[in-house]
């Protein structure tokens, strides 16, 4: 029987989706874990309608999969999906780096190179050290966000933001795994820094793409250990 007086929702679907997204990115909700609508509704003091809309929003970001008669669960990626996600990142990284090399102010170039300079000495220490890897992630994000803003293009900034949001789970999950090839990361970041300093769009773009591909290599290396039950 339908309740004629449903509980008013204290949270919008967007707010519920944001909270669940943060749980997924933080690892509080694991890949393959079921998300029970009733439990989420109780958590946010709301009916199932806003919860279902929130789950659909997360499904569009590929963070959640929804199956008929079985409900929602945290997405479990395949190797093909991982490759596609990092390919998208590589393309966007390359674009913002090329534009930044042409358009950024000297102060922005200096700031981006300074952020990269903090990354380089940490890379060799990152093998198996989650805390150092998280520091690298933060500094890398700061450098890349500077480059996106320096593109001086609202369209490119929007593309960058959307790509980062849609692939953030994959990056956050795999970037805390072991760095498999530290030299590859070092060379990629050094190339990006040199390209920016020289105002060389081609070199900067190549370096930025290689940054993404170095992390992709780590992800593929870690995949069997992180998802032993998932069919690649």
DSSP letters for 127-144? TT-HHHHHHHHHHHHHHH
What pLDDT shows up at residue 52?
93
CA separation for the pair 199, 195 (Å, rounded): 6
From the number of C-beta atoms within 10 Å of its C-beta (0-12, 13-18, 19+), residue 84 rates as middle
Cut 0.85: pTM above it: no
Low-confidence residues in the chain, pLDDT < 70: 1-9, 127-129, 168-179, 224-232
Q: Compute the distance between CA of residue 206 and CA of residue 204 in angstroms, rounded to an integer.
A: 5
- Amino acid 231: pLDDT: 57
Q: Which CATH number fits domain 79-226: 1.10.3470, 1.10.3910, 2.60.40, 1.20.120?
A: 1.20.120
Give residue 2's pLDDT: 47
Give how far Cα 179 sits from Cα of 38, 80, 120, 187, Å.
39, 20, 13, 14
What stretches of 167-221 adopt beta strand conformation (E)? none
User: Using alpha carbons only, what angle is made at residue 158 by residues 155 and 160, rounded to the nearest 5 degrees?
Assistant: 110
* pLDDT of amino acid 50: 93
- pLDDT reported for residue 9: 52
CATH code: domain 13-74 is: 1.10.10.10
What per-residue confidence (pLDDT) applies to 189? 97
Tell me the domain boundaries of the chain: 13-74, 79-226
Cα–Cα dist 100/102, whole Å: 5
């Amino acid at each position: 029987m339908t309740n004629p007086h449903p509980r008013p929702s204290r949270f919008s679907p967007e707010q519920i989706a944001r909270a669940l997204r943060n749980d997924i990115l933080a690892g509080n909700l694991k890949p393959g874990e079921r998300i029970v609508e009733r439990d989420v509704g109780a958590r946010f003091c709301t009916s199932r309608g806003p919860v279902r809309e929130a789950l659909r929003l997360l499904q569009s970001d590929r963070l959640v999969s929804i199956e008929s008669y079985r409900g929602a669960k945290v997405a479990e990626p395949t190797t093909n999906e991982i490759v596609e996600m990092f390919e998208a990142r590589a393309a966007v990284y390359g674009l913002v780096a090329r534009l930044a090399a042409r358009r950024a102010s000297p102060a922005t170039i200096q700031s981006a190179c300074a952020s990269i300079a903090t990354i380089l000495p940490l890379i060799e220490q990152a093998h198996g050290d989650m805390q150092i890897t998280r520091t690298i992630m933060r500094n890398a994000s700061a450098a890349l966000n500077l480059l996106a803003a320096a593109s001086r293009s609202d369209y490119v900034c929007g593309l960058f933001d959307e790509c980062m949001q849609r692939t953030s789970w994959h990056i956050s999950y795999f970037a805390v795994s072991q760095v498999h090839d530290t030299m590859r990361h070092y060379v990629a970041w050094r190339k990006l820094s040199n390209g920016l300093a020289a105002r060389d769009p081609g070199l900067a773009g190549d370096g930025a793409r290689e940054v993404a591909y170095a992390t992709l290599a780590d992800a593929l290396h870690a995949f069997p250990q992180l998802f032993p039950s998932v069919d690649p």
